Structure 1
Amino acid sequence: MKVFKKIKEIKSYLGEQIKQGMTIGFVPTMGYLHEGHLSLIRYAAKDNDIVVVSVFVNPTQFGPGEDLEKYPRDLDRDIRLAQQAGATVLFTPEVEEMYPNGYKTYVEVEQITGTLCGASRPGHFRGVTTVVSKLFNIINPNRAYFGQKDAQQSIVIKRMVKDLNMDIEIIVCPIVRESDGLAMSSRNVYLNKDEREQAVVLSQSLFMAKEMIQNGEKDALKIKKAIIKMIKEKPLADIDYVSIVDIETLTDVSEINNKVLIALAVRFGKTRLIDNIMAEGK
Structure 2
Amino acid sequence: MSLGDDSDYGNDSGRTDDGYSTIGGTRQTRTRLPDGEGGDGYGTPRRPARKSRSLVMMVGVVALLIAAIAFANMGGGGGKGSDGGSGSGGSSPKSSSTAATGTKPVAGKNGAIPSGFAHDEQGAQSAASNFAVALGSVGMFKKDSRHEIVDTIYTPEAAAKLRGPQDTAYSTDFLGKLGLDAVGNAPQGSTFVSRTIPVGTKLEAFEGDTAKVSVWYTGLIGMSGAGSTDPVRTTWKTWTVQLSWTSDGWKAVSDTQKDGPAPVPGDVAASSSDEISKAVEEYGGFTYAR
TM-score range, shorter-chain basis?
Answer: under 0.3
Higher helix share: 1
Normalising to structure 1: TM-score of the pair? 0.23
Structure showing greater relative contact order (alpha-carbon pairs closer than 8 Å, 6 or more residues apart): 1
Normalising to structure 2: TM-score of the pair? 0.23
